[in-house]
């Protein structure tokens, strides 16, 4: 069977391609931008890649076309699929029908922390010999690949860990992706307004989360932080599944007691009884919550907290999550995927608690659709409070004037070119410190350019 994938170089669709190849299918795909590392990962799997969307990419008449949610009517290859009458499906639906239908699915949803928590949980299962399948919206360093089918001779392959995204499934299916997955174990990390390009308001996102809650069986488990009012409101709409709540320095059934303020060391407590201590390189209360949720989810399938903790002590984090990419002449450069004010604030808070009074420079590209619409003006400015200075990139095609940020914070500078940013950072580098580059994209290649200049 020949499967052709439109939008194959996206993290999710690329993961599908890898899994389809592992199932034995012939796989090809096209994308507007075919470049490493995803292109390399796919080509190593024997997948044919086509650069650009064209009707002739379908001349072989594939048996099935999987269409990514970034594509819409008017795209020449989408139009060719429809005109030729080819069989097509969304990525989430294909995954549900061909991979997840006979698995114990552990889904990780929420505005923040999905990729990291999914990676933690996958690693815990791997460490304990379960050889899980997984599909993750990033590359966990413990695995070096974003997706796999899982399984093995000992048949401990009944588990699949998936990053459960609330974004829509396809131009012809506007339901959130996670509605297709039907998890037995569901982590709801948190819930805030995001994806302003498809959701008109927070209530619309809550409705989608409640659609997810409706699919979780009564013998399953929902894991969430007790302090998240939006998640609690979703559950109050109706919940037919047992819940387990988490907290930090509080009184939830599962609680993390911070032993270091930066979150790099904490005890894990179940009903006030210590289960062990996590002492690792990660920082930030967000990562403490991520770890606690992963421990609770693993516990539901029979992995003792002490064994989950042992796995987390060997967890290497995810590529582009406060990843140290260089240390040059007293400057430490970090690549971080944070692209929402809450993620920015918690990340910088964790770093501040780790480095004390050392200088922190945050460099932010407002690239997500929500950021580009100017939804988070005040919250973005305030999220940068832990940085000594914050440099915000304003490209020519940005839809709002970033100078408004300065009315909420006095540590912000606006730059309209990468050259200007690099020039400023070269001056800042004379005093050393921690430079955190924050973007959910390539940031115009600034990572390597800045290293070369420094």
Confidence of residue 373 (pLDDT cuts 50, 70, 90): low
Yes or no: say if 405 and 414 are a contact pair by the CB < 8 Å rule.
yes
- DSSP letters for 398-428: -SS-GGGGGGT-SSEEEESSHHHHHHHHHHH
Q: Give the end of a domain, one of 312, 332, 358.
A: 312
How, if at all, do strands 159-163 and 133-135 pair?
A: parallel
Q: Are residues 277 and 342 in the same domain?
A: no
Tokens 């005040």 locate to: 378
**pLDDT for the residue 106:** 98
HSE of 31, CA atoms in CB hemisphere, 13 A: 25
Q: Is residue 413, in this structure, part of any structural domain at all?
A: yes
Overall domain count for the chain? 3
Report d(CA 430, CA 331) in Å as an integer. Answer: 9
Its pTM stands at: 0.83
* Amino acid 374: pLDDT: 56
Of 130-139, 157-166, 319-328, 386-395, least confident by mean pLDDT is 319-328
CATH number at residue 127: 3.40.1190.10
> Do residues 303 and 341 both lie within one domain?
no
Reported as a single tens digit per residue, the pLDDT across 84-96 is 999 999 999 999 9
pLDDT, tens only, 76-125 = 999 999 999 999 999 999 999 999 999 999 999 998 889 999 999 999 99
Q: What angle do CA 224, 225, 230 make, to 5 degrees?
A: 85
- Of 190-194, 285-289, 368-372, which range is least confident? 368-372
182 and 40 in a common domain: no
Q: Measured between alpha carbons, how far is 167 from 164 in angstroms, rounded to an integer?
A: 9
Do 31 and 122 lie in one domain? The reply is no
| Cα–Cα–Cα angle for 280, 283, 285, rounded to 5 degrees | 115
Which residues span the domain enclosing 159? 102-312
Domain shared by 159 and 290, yes or no: yes
Average pLDDT taken over every residue of the chain: 90
56/133 same-domain check: no
pLDDT at 16 exceeding the cut of 90: yes
Same domain, 30 and 164: no
CA–chain centroid gap for 105, Å, is 18
Contact 32, 52 (CB under 8 A): yes
- Give the integer Cα–Cα distance in Å for 311 and 307: 6
The pLDDT of residue 192 is 81
Given 285, 312, 339, which residue is the final one in a domain?
Answer: 312
Cα distance between residue 403 and residue 199, in whole Å = 26
Q: 341 and 306 in one domain? A: no
Whether the pLDDT of residue 42 is over 50: the answer is: yes
Domain CATH for 49: 3.40.50.720
Confidence tier at 338 by pLDDT (50, 70, 90): confident
How far CA 31 is from CA of 19, 135, 442, in Å, comes to: 18, 20, 16
Burial, 258: exposed, middle or buried (Cβ in 10 Å; 0-12, 13-18, 19+)? middle
Query: Which residue in 242, 302, 309 sits closest to 279, CA to CA?
Result: 309
* Spatial distance between the Cα atoms of 302 and 142, rounded to a whole number of angstroms: 22
What's the angle, vertex CA 44, arms to CA 137 and CA 159, rounded to 5? 45
Q: What percent of the chain has pLDDT over 90?
A: 62
Label residue 154 by pLDDT band (50, 70, 90). very low
The pair of three-digit structure tokens given for residue 205, joined into one six-digit string: 């996102």
Residue 376 is predicted with a pLDDT of 64
- Please report where in the chains the tokens 């990729």 appear, as a residue: 115
Q: Are residues 340 and 227 in the same domain?
A: no
Per-residue pLDDT reduced to its tens digit, 346-362: 889 889 988 899 999 99
CA nearest to 137, candidates 14, 29, 49, 33:
14
Instruction: Identify the pLDDT of residue 369.
Output: 58
Rounded distance between C-alpha atoms, residue 404 and residue 409, angstroms: 10
Instruction: Say if residue 50 is in the same domain as residue 124.
Output: no
For residue 2 the two structure tokens come to 């020949």
Pairing state between β 48-51 and 433-438: unpaired
3-state secondary structure of 274: strand
The answer to whether position 160 is within a domain reads yes
**What values do phi and psi take at 313, rounded to 5?**
-65, -15
Are residues 189 and 49 part of one domain? no
Residues 240, 363 share a domain: no
Which stretch of 50-64, 148-162, 315-329, 412-426 has the lowest confidence by average pLDDT? Answer: 148-162
Q: d(Cα 452, Cα 350) in Å, to the nearest integer?
A: 28
- 120 falls within a domain: yes
In a domain, 292, yes or no: yes
Is 332:435 a contact under the CB 8 Å cutoff?
Answer: yes
Asked, for residue 97, whether it belongs to a domain, the answer is no
pLDDT at 206 over 90: yes
**Domain end residue (candidates: 288, 312, 336):** 312
95 within domain boundaries: no
The 323-328 sheet, strands edge to edge: 323-328, 331-336, 433-438, 360-364, 389-393, 412-415
The verdict on residue 318 lying in a domain is no
CATH number for the domain that contains residue 341: 3.90.190.20
Token pair 């990562």 is found at 287
């Amino acid at each position: 069977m020949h499967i052709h994938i439109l939008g194959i170089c996206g993290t999710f669709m690329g993961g599908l391609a890898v899994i389809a190849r592992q199932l034995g299918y012939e796989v090809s795909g096209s994308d507007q931008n075919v470049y490493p590392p995803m292109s390399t990962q796919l080509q190593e799997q024997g997948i044919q890649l086509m650069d650009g969307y064209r009707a002739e990419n379908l001349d072989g008449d594939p048996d099935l076309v999987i269409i990514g949610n970034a594509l819409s009517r008017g795209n020449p290859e989408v139009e060719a699929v429809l005109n030729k009458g080819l069989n097509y499906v969304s990525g989430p639906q294909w995954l549900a029908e061909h991979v997840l239908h006979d698995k114990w699915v552990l889904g990780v949803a929420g505005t923040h922390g999905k990729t990291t928590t999914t990676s933690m949980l996958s690693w815990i299962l791997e460490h304990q010999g379960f050889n899980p399948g997984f599909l993750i919206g990033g590359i966990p360093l413990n695995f070096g690949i974003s997706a796999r089918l899982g399984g093995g001779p000992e048949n401990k392959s009944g588990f699949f860990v998936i990053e459960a995204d609330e974004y829509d499934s396809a131009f012809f299916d506007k339901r959130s992706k996670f509605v297709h997955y039907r998890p037995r174990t569901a982590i709801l990390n948190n819930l805030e307004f995001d994806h302003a390009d498809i959701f008109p308001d927070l209530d619309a996102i809550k409705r989608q989360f409640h659609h997810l809650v409706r699919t979780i069986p009564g013998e399953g488990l929902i894991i969430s932080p007790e302090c998240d009012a939006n998640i609690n409101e979703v559950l109050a709409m109706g919940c037919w599944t047992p819940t387990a709540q988490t907290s930090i320095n509080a009184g939830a059934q599962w609680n993390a007691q911070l032993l270091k303020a930066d979150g790099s060391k904490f005890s894990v407590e179940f009903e006030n009884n210590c289960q062990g201590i996590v002492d690792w390189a990660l920082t930030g209360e967000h990562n403490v919550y991520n770890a606690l949720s992963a421990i609770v989810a693993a516990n539901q399938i029979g992995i003792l907290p002490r064994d989950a903790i042992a796995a987390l002590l060997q967890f290497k984090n995810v590529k582009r999550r406060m990843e140290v990419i260089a240390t040059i002449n007293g400057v430490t450069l970090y690549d971080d995927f944070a692209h929402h004010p809450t993620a920015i604030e918690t990340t910088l808070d964790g770093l501040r608690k780790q480095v004390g009074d050392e200088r922190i420079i945050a460099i932010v590209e407002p690239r997500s659709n929500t950021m580009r619409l100017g939804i988070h003006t005040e919250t973005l400015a305030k999220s940068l409070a832990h940085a000594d200075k914050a440099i915000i990139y304003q490209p020519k095609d940005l839809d709002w004037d970033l100078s408004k940020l300065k009315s909420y914070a006095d540590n912000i500078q606006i730059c309209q070119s990468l050259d200007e940013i690099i020039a400023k950072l070269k001056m800042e580098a004379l005093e050393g410190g921690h430079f955190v580059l924050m973007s959910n994209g390539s940031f115009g290649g600034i990572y390597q350019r800045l290293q070369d200049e420094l």
